């Protein structure tokens, strides 16, 4: 309680001291003019000082203001106690009422700076209501009470136009000149604010981009004010130069801070009205002065609103700019922010942190799990990073990490080990993530190389996951560059081959004991006269989502040639991505009808993963092709998810036993037992069995003895161009 009392006492005495200094000073410097032979205020500045003190101290300013105005009034004019109280009421009641109403309409932050975010309320209550209340009360008092001649002019005993000028002087004081007292007093009370004011509003305007403009702007303003306030008397100065000042201030709003513009305008307007003999030369009639003051008031309101509008526009620009540079889901700066950061930090050690199994896990748990994991990784890494080290979000399973200082590889190794040993939970499930990382030095000046280098780091981090170590780009840059360049070249070659019909079909026989059977279609690509083998183009097709296009071209190429092979049957492999596309079966059936091929002549080979998939599109496509009459074969059976339970519910016509069970079947009893059990269950299900990779006579004999129906492999026949097949 004592502490609070001390604070209140301190506020009271500071407010009182400021009031006793500011109110008489404001009265002394208030600009006046002789209008139609009568002296009148152009701006009654004690009102400005009163509002500034109220904005600084709030309710703690009431008593100090009352005391200060009583003291000043007592020295200026000799009044009875009753007259002094009435005059005090006229001077302060409008200030207090408008302040209370402003607090009620705006809320607790009603004293928050000038210009305020609530500009409309400030202009209305302080700029218009307060002067109206003051002048209205004075008019009523002057009508019913007598005052000394020295102050009688305050109470509306002159003409209507003079009364308008009087009201305008109060509006000018409250609206234009309040900042002239508010900011200096706030800086005196709080030196920290003075430094902050300089840093935010002055130093910021003197940046290298603005410095030249601000210099010329200030020189132009000083020159205009010097001319307008000089003793050189002509009727054309105010009429022609004042509009230039307005234009000058409007042009400065976009380069100077709003607070600085308002403060400079207060100073400029004060100099103009203070030197009114020169500024208003030839226009000192009541009507002319009323017009000039109304122009100043209108321009002030325009400035206040334009400052607010521009500030809001800049705030929105900063918000949108920040949103463009920040990933909204992870909250991390994105690749665009990384590019901007590199411009300021040309040499940077950049690490690519890869979460190897995140893609697979996000397919099971959903995309929000991926986001949760990246957020958790960011939190876990913070204790290991210094204040100037940053994380950046990039699409996919990776994060960019900028490290400073020596021993980058050792630190990155520690980070990877830490993350590999740190588990992340998602919906009460422990997620076991696997991490790898690569690093290299990026030169931000070489903008064209940035994305290429990031691609190299990405590939290298993928290799690091497999090698369980941290890899540095600087020692492998040539190899990495060669590999990534080779992939891009191969992608272009594959696309050209697909675009120009460069698919070559090869056929490999699949036969039974009697040498009868069908052929599996294998594909090659031809580009620029060079043959591309499947081990080169299949990974590219899979990685860049060309599977559907490739498979459909293979199907159409085969079906278009089948009129030359009416007695043959063929098997075609479809990639997993193709079967996942809605309408894939419809397209194949459309091609069968177009080329008039019977569906019984075509066997569709699918992977084991697709046959037992939960993908509705895959299962629907397989069922639709089977219902149309195509045979369905499960390729590479036994290597993936297959087990006896799944074999029991398989919906297929042919099962192809993977070569891993065939390679050592002559010598390995376990392989023989596995193949025998698959054969027994297949017979129960009326499935046809095909064994792949048969390369020796002993394998052939053993497989037929175990019950396999068809064999495929180099012993039976190597793939040969379809054109060499007997028609």
DSSP string, 381-425: HGGGS-TT-EEEE-SSSEEEEEE-SS-HHHHHHHHHHHHHT--EE
> Quick one: three-class SS letters along 342-388?
HHHCCEEEEEEEEECCHHHHHHHHCHHHHHHHHHHHHHHHHHHCCCC
Q: Which two tokens stand for residue 262?
A: 């308002």
Average pLDDT over residues 422-429: 82
* Cβ(312)–Cβ(320) below 8 Å: no
User: Does 471 share its domain with 583?
Assistant: no
Task: Say if residue 181's pLDDT is above 90.
Answer: yes
Average pLDDT over residues 638-652: 62
User: Does 605 share its domain with 459?
Assistant: no
For β-strands 398-403 and 424-426, DSSP reports them as unpaired
Show Cβ contacts of residue 211 under 8 Å, excluding neighbours closer than 6 positions: none
User: Does 508 share its domain with 649?
Assistant: yes
CATH number at residue 432: 3.30.70.270
CATH number at residue 546: 3.20.20.450
Average pLDDT over residues 711-722: 93
Weakest mean pLDDT among 18-27, 193-202, 220-229, 239-248 = 239-248
Dihedrals φ, ψ of 389, to 5°? Answer: -100, 140
User: Does 495 share its domain with 470?
Assistant: no
User: Does 617 share its domain with 469?
Assistant: no
Task: Say if residue 43's pLDDT is above 50.
Answer: yes
Is the bond preceding residue 115 a cis peptide, omega within 30 degrees?
Answer: yes
Q: Which residue has the tokens 């003197």?
A: 206
User: Does 372 share its domain with 437?
Assistant: yes
In a domain, 118, yes or no: yes
In a domain, 325, yes or no: no
Using the 3D structure, point to which of 280, 314, 348 is the last residue of a domain: 314
Euclidean distance between the first and the last CA atom of the chain, given in angstroms as a whole number: 108
Using the 3D structure, point to which of 283, 314, 345 is the last residue of a domain: 314
Average pLDDT over residues 455-461: 82
Task: Say if residue 58's pLDDT is above 70.
Answer: yes
Separation in Å, CA 620 to CA 571, 586, 609:
20, 11, 15
For β-strands 602-607 and 631-637, DSSP reports them as parallel
DSSP state of 546: -
Weakest mean pLDDT among 254-258, 455-459, 521-525 = 455-459
User: Does 340 share its domain with 275?
Assistant: no
Helices (H), 198-257: 211-229, 236-252
User: Does 286 share its domain with 213?
Assistant: yes
Using the 3D structure, point to which of 410, 443, 475 is the last residue of a domain: 475
User: Does 495 share its domain with 622?
Assistant: yes
Task: Measure the CA–CA gap between 345 and 402, rounded to whole angstroms.
Answer: 11
SS3 for 281? coil
Show Cβ contacts of residue 479 under 8 Å, excluding neighbours closer than 6 positions: none
Average pLDDT over residues 106-116: 75
In a domain, 320, yes or no: no
- The number of distinct structural domains making up the chain is 3
In a domain, 340, yes or no: yes
Q: Which two tokens stand for residue 510?
A: 């699949």
User: Does 28 share its domain with 177?
Assistant: yes
Show Cβ contacts of residue 290 under 8 Å, excluding neighbours closer than 6 positions: 161, 164, 165, 168
Q: Which two tokens stand for residue 103?
A: 């607090």
In a domain, 328, yes or no: no
User: Does 86 share its domain with 173?
Assistant: yes
User: Does 45 share its domain with 97?
Assistant: yes
Task: Measure the CA–CA gap between 546 and 555, rounded to whole angstroms.
Answer: 14
Task: Say if residue 530's pLDDT is above 60.
Answer: yes
pLDDT at 246: 85
In a domain, 481, yes or no: no
Helices (H), 423-471: 447-467
Task: Say if residue 547's pLDDT is above 60.
Answer: yes
Task: Say if residue 477's pLDDT is above 60.
Answer: no
What is the Cα 314 distance to its own chain's centre? 16
Give the pLDDT band of residue 275 (cuts 50, 70, 90): confident
Could you report the per-residue pLDDT of 282-336, keeping only the tens digit for each? 556 777 788 888 888 999 999 888 888 888 888 888 888 888 888 888 888 888 8
In a domain, 300, yes or no: yes
Range of the domain at 385: 335-475
Is the model more confident about 455 or about 299? 299
In a domain, 324, yes or no: no
User: What H or E segment, with its residue span, contains residue 390?
Assistant: strand 390-393
Task: Measure the CA–CA gap between 18 and 545, rounded to whole angstroms.
Answer: 76
């Amino acid at each position: 309680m004592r502490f609070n009392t001390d604070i209140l006492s301190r506020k009271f005495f500071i407010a009182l001291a400021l009031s006793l200094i500011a109110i008489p000073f404001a009265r002394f410097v208030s600009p006046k003019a002789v209008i139609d032979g009568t002296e009148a205020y152009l701006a009654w500045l004690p009102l400005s000082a009163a509002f500034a003190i109220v904005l600084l101290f709030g309710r703690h300013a009431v008593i100090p203001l009352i005391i200060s105005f009583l003291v000043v009034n007592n020295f200026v004019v000799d009044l009875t106690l009753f007259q002094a109280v009435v005059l005090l009421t006229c001077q302060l009641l409008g200030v207090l009422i408008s302040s209370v109403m402003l607090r009620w309409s705006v809320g607790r932050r009603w004293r928050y700076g000038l210009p305020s975010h609530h500009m409309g309320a400030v202009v209305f209550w302080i700029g218009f209501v307060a002067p109206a209340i003051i002048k209205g009360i004075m008019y009523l008092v002057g009508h019913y009470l007598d005052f000394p001649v020295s102050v009688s002019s305050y109470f509306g005993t002159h003409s209507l136009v003079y009364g308008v000028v009087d009201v305008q002087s109060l509006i000018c004081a409250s609206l234009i000149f309040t900042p002239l007292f508010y900011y200096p007093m706030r800086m005196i009370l709080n030196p920290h604010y003075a430094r902050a004011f300089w840093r935010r509003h002055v130093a910021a305007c003197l940046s290298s981009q603005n410095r030249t403009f601000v210099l010329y702007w200030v020189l132009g303003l000083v020159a205009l004010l010097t001319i307008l306030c000089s003793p050189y008397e002509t009727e054309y100065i105010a009429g022609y130069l004042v509009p230039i000042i307005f234009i000058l201030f409007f042009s400065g709003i976009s380069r100077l801070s709003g607070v600085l513009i308002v403060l400079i305008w207060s100073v400029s307007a004060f100099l103009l009205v203070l030197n009114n003999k020169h500024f208003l030369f030839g226009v000192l009639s009541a009507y002319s002065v009323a017009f000039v003051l109304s122009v100043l008031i209108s321009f002030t309101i325009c400035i206040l609103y334009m400052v607010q509008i521009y500030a809001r526009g800049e705030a929105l620009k900063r918000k949108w700019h920040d949103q463009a540079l920040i990933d909204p889901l992870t909250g991390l700066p994105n690749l665009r922010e990384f590019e901007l950061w590199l411009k300021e930090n040309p040499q940077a050690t950049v690490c690519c942190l890869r979460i190897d199994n995140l893609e697979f896990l996000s397919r099971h748990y959903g995309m929000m799990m991926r986001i949760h994991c990246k957020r958790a990784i960011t939190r876990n890494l913070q204790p290991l990073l210094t204040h100037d080290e940053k994380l950046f979000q990039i699409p996919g399973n990776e994060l960019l990490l900028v490290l400073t200082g020596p021993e980058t590889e050792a630190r990155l190794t520690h980070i990877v080990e830490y993350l590999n040993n740190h588990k992340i939970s998602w919906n009460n499930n422990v997620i076991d993530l696997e991490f790898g990382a690569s690093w290299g030095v990026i030169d931000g000046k070489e903008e064209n190389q940035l994305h290429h280098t990031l691609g190299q780091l990405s590939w290298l981090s993928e290799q690091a996951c497999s090698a369980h170590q941290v890899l540095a780009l600087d020692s492998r840059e040539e190899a990495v560059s060669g590999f990534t360049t080779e992939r891009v070249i191969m992608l272009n070659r594959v696309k050209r081959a697909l675009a120009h019909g460069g698919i070559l079909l090869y056929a490999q026989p699949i036969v039974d004991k009697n040498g009868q059977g069908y052929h599996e279609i294998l594909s090659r690509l031809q580009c620029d006269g060079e043959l591309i083998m499947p081990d080169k183009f299949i990974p590219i097709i899979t990685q860049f989502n060309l599977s559907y296009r490739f498979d459909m071209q293979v199907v159409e190429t085969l079906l278009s040639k089948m009129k030359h092979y009416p007695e043959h049957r063929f098997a075609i492999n479809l990639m997993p991505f193709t079967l996942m596309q809605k309408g894939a079966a419809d397209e194949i059936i459309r091609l069968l009808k177009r080329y008039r091929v019977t569906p019984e002549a075509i066997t569709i080979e699918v992977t084991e993963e697709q046959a037992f998939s939960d993908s509705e599109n895959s299962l629907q496509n397989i069922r639709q092709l089977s219902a149309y009459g195509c045979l369905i074969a499960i390729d590479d059976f036994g290597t993936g998810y297959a087990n006896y339970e799944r074999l029991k519910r398989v919906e297929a016509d042919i099962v192809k036993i993977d070569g891993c069970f065939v390679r050592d079947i002559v010598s390995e009893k376990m392989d023989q037992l596995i193949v025998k059990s698959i054969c027994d269950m297949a017979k129960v299900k009326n499935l046809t069995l095909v064994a792949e990779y048969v390369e020796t006579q002993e394998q052939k004999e053993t497989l037929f003895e175990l019950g396999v129906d068809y064999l495929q492999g180099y012993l039976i026949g190597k793939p040969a161009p379809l054109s060499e097949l007997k028609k």
